Structure 1
Amino acid sequence: MEKNVSQRISFDDLKLFCKQAYLRAGVPEDEAEIVADLLARSDLRGVETHGALRLPIYIQRLQKGYVRAVCKITTVKERGSTAFLEAHGSMGHVVAHKAMKIAIQKATEHGIGWVSVKDSGHFGAAGLFPMRALEKDFIGYVITNSAPIMAPYGGRERILGNNPLSFAFPTVQYPPIVLDMSISVVSAGKLILCRKKGEKIPLGWAYDKNGFPTEDPYEGYEGGGFLAAIGEYKGYGMILVHEMLTSILTGGKWTQHIKSLYEEDKTGIQGTCHSFMAIDPECFTGRENFKKEMDRYIKSIKESAKAQNVTEILMPGEPEYRTESERLKQGIPLESTTLQELVTLGKSLGISLP
Structure 2
Amino acid sequence: MKAVGTSESHADAVAICLTQADYKGHLCEGLYQLKTYVDEVEYGGCDKDAVPTILKESPVCAWVDGNNGLGVIVANFSMNLAIQKAKKCGIGWVVAKRSNNYGIAGMYSLKALDAGFLGLSFSNATPLVAPSRALEGALGANPISVAAPATNEDYFLLDMSTATVAHGKVEILGRKKLPVPTEWANPVTGALTPLGGSDPSSNYKGFGLAMFVEILCGILGDSGYGPYVRRYGDVHQAANIGHCFIAVNPNYFAPGFEERLSDLMNYIRNMQPADPERPVIVPGDFERQHMSTVDHQGGICYAKDLVKICQMLADRLNVTHLSPLI
TM-score by length of 2: 0.92
Aligned twin of 1:166: 145
Q: Which amino acid aligns with 1:188?
A: H
1:53-202 equivalence runs, <5 A? 53-173=32-152, 175-202=154-181
Shift of 1:255: 2.0
Shift of 1:194: 2.3
Aligned twin of 2:271: 304
* CA deviation map 1:331-353 (0-9, x unaligned): 00111111001111111222122
Distance 1:350 1:245, change over 3 A: same
Shift of 1:189: 1.5
User: Quick check: 1:349 aligned with 2:317?
Assistant: yes
Aligned twin of 2:245: 276
Which shifted more, 109-118 or 232-241?
A: 232-241
Aligned twin of 1:234: 205
The SS at the match of 2:302 is strand
Flag structure 1 segments of 5+ consecutive residues without an equivalent. 1-21, 211-219
- Among the aligned pairs, what percent are the same residue? 28
Which shifted more, 233-242 or 50-59?
A: 233-242
User: Quick check: 1:325 aligned with 2:276?
Assistant: no
User: Quick check: 1:338 aligned with 2:294?
Assistant: no
1:217-228 equivalence runs, <5 A? 220=190, 225-228=191-194
Shift of 1:171: 1.6
Between the two structures, name the one with larger relative contact order (CA 8 Å, sep ≥ 6). Answer: 1
Shift of 1:137: 1.6
Runs of 4+ aligned residues of structure 1 deviating over 4 Å after TM superposition are none
User: Quick check: 1:263 aligned with 2:234?
Assistant: yes
User: Quick check: 1:316 aligned with 2:283?
Assistant: yes
CA distance in 2, matches of 1:50, 1:67: 18
CA distance in 2, matches of 1:235, 1:315: 20
Shift of 1:206: 1.0
The SS at the match of 1:348 is helix
Flag structure 2 segments of 5+ consecutive residues without an equivalent. 197-201
Aligned twin of 2:31: 52
Q: Aligned pair count?
A: 316
CA distance in 2, matches of 1:307, 1:151: 33
Q: Which amino acid aligns with 2:216?
A: L
Shift of 1:252: 1.9
CA distance in 2, matches of 1:244, 1:290: 29
Distance 1:163 1:311, change over 3 A: closer
Shift of 1:305: 3.1
Contact 1:141 1:276 in 2 (8 A): yes
Q: Which amino acid aligns with 2:269?
A: K
Shift of 1:190: 1.4
CA distance in 2, matches of 1:237, 1:229: 9
CA distance in 1, matches of 2:68, 2:92: 24
The SS at the match of 2:81 is helix
* CA deviation map 1:33-92 (0-9, x unaligned): 111101011111111100001101210111011100102311110110111001121111
User: Quick check: 1:208 aligned with 2:168?
Assistant: no
* CA deviation map 1:178-216 (0-9, x unaligned): 101111111111112222334333331111345xxxxxx
Which shifted more, 169-178 or 245-254?
A: 169-178
Aligned twin of 2:199: none
Which shifted more, 189-198 or 147-156?
A: 189-198
